[in-house]
Amino acid sequence: MTVSWLQPFWTPARLAVILAAAALPVVVSHNPYYLLVAATILIFSMLAAGLQLVLGFGGILQLGYAGFFGLGAYASALVTTRLGYPFIVGFAAAIGAATLGGAIMSPIIRLRDVYFAMASFVFGLILELVFNQWSSVTNGPIGFRGIPTPVVFGWRIHQPEHFYYLLVCVLLAQYWLMFRVLQSPFGTALQAMREREVACRTSGLNTAAIKIRLILISSAIAGAAGSLLAHMNGFISPPSFGWAQSVTLLMMVVVGGLRSLPGALLGAATIRLVLERTSILGRQSNIVFGIALILFMAFLPNGLAGLARWRTRQVQDARAGT
């Protein structure tokens, strides 16, 4: 039996998904809009996976996650436009700013359940207020414009397909790191804390330190995603990082299925595609989206990942019966 942290990462299923992602720009080359949607899905997949780490694997309900997304976006925009530093420095600054935000919020980790959820929600509202009101830095409701396209190792990424491949590489690196973290002894301690926190504290496990690490890691992921979004669109504004975005990210994790990294990616893709389809309905889109989500949760409480596991068991049972 293979030790958990030595489990292989490169499986046939993952290789097939990576190959399909690499071939997508060729398939949709006739329509740049589809490539833009795919790139947006990749960014939100990063965010959903980061929130999955906290909510699904850590059991911590964080309602202000989009605020760290905004910290990364504005930090990268400021460093590259007003200070004139290259994209790599802005990307690092975004991760640092979001991680610092997570460190500032970390003392509230000692709050339990709904109290932490409400405190994190208020923290996200404070960040949204800063993005809106600190006009001298963020340009307020007008938004931040003129964010340059990234240059990586001397290669200027200005074509949609080039940015798409950059996002694929970043998401793959993030997924690999998260996979290794969850398969490590830290991941084992994380699972034990989620299932029996009181027993873990009694046995001497520092659950507060584990939760703080989760907050810092997920904040860094959100900051990286914010930087990529800012440089992909060349424009950012406060509504992209408000409480509504936090709720959308929460939906992605729940729809995809808790405690499943592939589920987080599936949830991000599903929600983004639904939002793209229902946006043509204007204000009524929220009603349609809400009804669809309620029906989804009523009939698929374990998310898309749970549906996939159920289907796999059905196939295995059928084969065993024959």
Torsion, Cα of 35, 40, 46, 52 (10° steps): -120
CA distance 126 to 82: 24
At the top level of CATH, the class of 4-321 is mainly alpha
Q: What share of the chain is helix, strand, coil (3-state, %, to 5)?
A: 80, 0, 20
Q: Are 109 and 116 in contact (CB under 8 A)?
A: yes
Q: Are 52 and 263 in contact (CB under 8 A)?
A: yes
More confident call, 296 vs 66: 66
Per-residue model confidence (pLDDT) at position 66: 95
More confident call, 31 vs 266: 266
Decide: helix, strand or coil at residue 248: helix
* Among 51-65, 249-263, 285-299, the least confident range: 285-299
Structure tokens at 26: 């060729």
Residue 3 confidence class, pLDDT cut points 50, 70, 90: very low
Which residues lie below 8 Å from residue 95, measured CB to CB, with a gap of 6+? 72, 220, 223, 224, 227
Could you read off the pLDDT of 140-159 as tens digits, one per residue? 999 899 999 998 887 888 78
Residue 266's CB: how many other CB atoms inside 10 A? Answer: 22
CA distance 115 to 120: 9
Could you read off the pLDDT of 115-146 as tens digits, one per residue? 898 999 999 999 999 999 999 999 999 989 99
Average pLDDT, the chain: 86
pLDDT at 230 over 50: yes
Helix orientation angle between 261-278 and 284-299, rounded to the nearest 10 degrees: 150
Residue 236 confidence class, pLDDT cut points 50, 70, 90: very high
